[in-house]
A and B are shown apart, each in its own frame.
Chain A
Amino acid sequence: MIRRVLPHGMGRGRLTRRPGTRRGGFSLDWDGKVSEIKKKIKSILPGRSCDLLQDTSHLPPEHSDVVIVGGGVLGLSVAYWLKKLESRRGAIRVLVVERDHTYSQASTGLSVGGICQQFSLPENIQLSLFSASFLRNINEYLAVVDAPPLDLQFNPSGYLLLASEKDAAAMESNVKVQRQEGAKVSLMSPDQLRNKFPWINTEGVALASYGMEDEGWFDPWCLLQGLRRKVQSLGVLFCQGEVTRFLSSSQRMLTTDDKAVVLKRIHEVHVKMDRSLEYQPVECAIVINAAGAWSSQIAALAGIGEGPPGTLQGTKLPVEPRKRYVYVWHCPQGPGLETPLVADTSGAYFRREGLGSNYLGGRSPTEQEEPDPANLEVDHDFFQDKVQSAWAGYYDYNTFDQNGVVGPHPLVVNMYFATGFSGHGLQQAPGVGRAVAEMVLKGRFQTINLSPFLFTRFYLGEKIQENNII
């Protein structure tokens, strides 16, 4: 092996005898020396990084075109679509910075994993429809040579939303919008409900909407690992570290009304390594904020929200972490195999888990009952009965209008947002990833128009309220 590795100048071209076989033996540590020489030579050869002085292999690269802060499903989706839509192979260098590679607190892994098209906004419905087709064809989108196909464990059982008298009219108009966009949703009266699902208590229920196709729940961890695997095979670099600083340059410009405005451009991201003071300054062109529940901290680092309140400079990113509980219980004579994910008039929801009469569910708490998001401890009193197990996860809750923030910031011109989806980020991730990639590469939304989700609506006060939040 060393014969081929040695360049021609060194030694005599071809060694006649392997070192270590000299007659008489030697007291020097030949094997150790040989392996050291091999290592040095390997690092000189092209294709390997030259780490002769200092080993920097654990640090992110010094330059990257796009830095994605946050390696959850939204961040990976943006990375995937950036690589898929780039004009030439290897045109864009992407770096994904994730603070916790075990994803112990990330919303993606702790999510219930539902996907439904029953929203009131047409953009949300279109995002969800695209995500359903993405998940259906996931083994074509995320195919990697020599890797086994992904099994998302998708349950196509649908969502059943129940509405009381006062919400019935809103539900009917929502279903009309959903049908216009192409979702297959049917309306059921209480009698039809009792006929189909005899275990439902239809007291107080005036109308129900049942999704027939493309709705259900799946394994979010599998989607995350599939995206990660594909994205790594496409050449995206991963780094475990925390973003601690943005270095930006400012420019004073005049608007058309001759008002002075300061535009900022981030040109360096400082990524601090885990459990160490060491950091790497990464020079970048574009930063994507996909940090989920912690997006507002990243936005504050970039200087978003520093200014007098009521101005564009003073508008903060209104995304904060909200804790939600999910409980698992056992019910031996419970609803059968055909149970959809049922969401009640009070906001409580449940679904079947597996074949063995286990059910899981939860409820969004009211504003007064909001639990403290400092940790992920579960409050068992919130669920008034005996539980088998429970967990908690964060929603990246948009306190303004509970809908996502997508697109560039008007003042920090190269920071793009993909966050704030308040509990339905997972089911909209493929569509949002594609939209952000289109915005970055082409400058506008091409397939699904998400301009109502831009950041400027927080300053202008234009709420786009989504009524069907579970």
Chain B
Amino acid sequence: MAAPWASLRLVAPMWNGRIRGIHRLGGAVAPEGNQKKKRTILQFLTNYFYDVEALRDYLLQREMYKVHEKNRSYTWLEKQHGPYGAGAFFILKQGGAVKFRDKEWIRPDKYGHFSQEFWNFCEVPVEAVDASDCDINYEGLDNLLRLKELQSLSLQRCSHVDDWCLSRLYPLADSLQELSLAGCPRVSERGLACLHHLQNLRRLDISDLPAVSNPGLTQILVEEMLPNCKVVGVDWAEGLKSGPEEQPQDTASPVPA
């Protein structure tokens, strides 16, 4: 057993930092045996003592507040250095990477530090943003939407990007050509429906979206909606049953006894 503090995980696992796996709604999360026992004790304590419940509630609210703090709108920075500088700073602070036009990719290192030289060329428009694994949410998109000439946006595995956020992407319709939503646990086919504003999109990656109920059918409908765009990531034939011509083959070759 790990250190005592680690075993006393006071915050419900779904809200602990990155959300691992699917958001299971309604049904119980299937945990391993040891975790299940710990969680029942915690649940028992929460149901019996107001103090434990209040403490857990407070910790939950603090987790949510931390995400909000990360997604503040940098209006002062925008006044000082323009929209591209403010947007780039926001992405780099979150842990993503930014590429200005005709320049190299700027990435933070593993400690979160990044080179500050981009302040010198913040009149240059930002061409590509790689916001994979960042905690961007609806409010944080304020900073992204200032980058009017963005051509490529990657929101892979962003756990707070949901359908509401996708409905906000339409101001980038003139310039956005590449969008990747692979692995976002909260994006469903309803959010994909509002991507029809992005008529200049040439490549859309919708692989591994656990909240989409029928990936094959969704891919067909999205392709119909965006005729000039190449939709990758889903095989529309997945989930379809094999046709009748396959079955006689099985009956022809008898199973050896």
Contact = CB atoms under 8 A, between A and B. Distances in A.
Interface of A: 136, 140, 143, 145-146, 148-151, 153-158, 212-214, 216, 336-338, 355-356
Contact of A355 (B27, B164, B217): B217
A178 B225 CA distance: 29
B167 A153 contact: no
Contact of B163 (A148, A154, A336, A338): A154
Contacts of A355: 189, 213-214, 217-218, 221
6 contacts: A145-B56, A146-B43, A155-B190, A157-B190, A213-B168, A355-B213
B24 interface: yes
B145 to A, nearest CB: 11
Contact of A336 (B43, B194, B221): B221
B164 A156 contact: yes
Interface of B: 12, 14, 23-27, 29, 43, 46, 53, 56-57, 60-61, 64, 138, 163-164, 166-168, 170, 188-194, 196-197, 213-214, 217-218, 221-222, 224-225
Contacts of A148: 14, 23-27, 29
Given A148-B26, A355-B217, 15 more contacts: A145-B12, A145-B46, A146-B12, A146-B46, A150-B25, A154-B164, A156-B194, A212-B167, A212-B197, A213-B167, A214-B167, A337-B189, A338-B193, A355-B189, A355-B213
A140 B190 contact: no
Nearest to B199: A196
B57 A337 contact: no
Given A337-B196, A355-B214, A156 B25 contact: no
Nearest to A197: B196
A143 B46 CA distance: 15
A142 to B, nearest CB: 12
Contacts of B138: 136
Nearest to B58: A145
Contacts of A356: 217
Contacts of A156: 163-164, 166-167, 190-191, 193-194
A337 B170 contact: no
A157 B24 contact: no
B131 to A, nearest CB: 20
B37 to A, nearest CB: 15
B154 to A, nearest CB: 21
Contacts of A153: 188, 190
Contact of A338 (B23, B56, B194, B214): B194
Nearest to A196: B196
Nearest to B189: A355
A157 to B, nearest CB: 6
B207 to A, nearest CB: 18
Nearest to A215: B167
Contacts of B14: 148-149
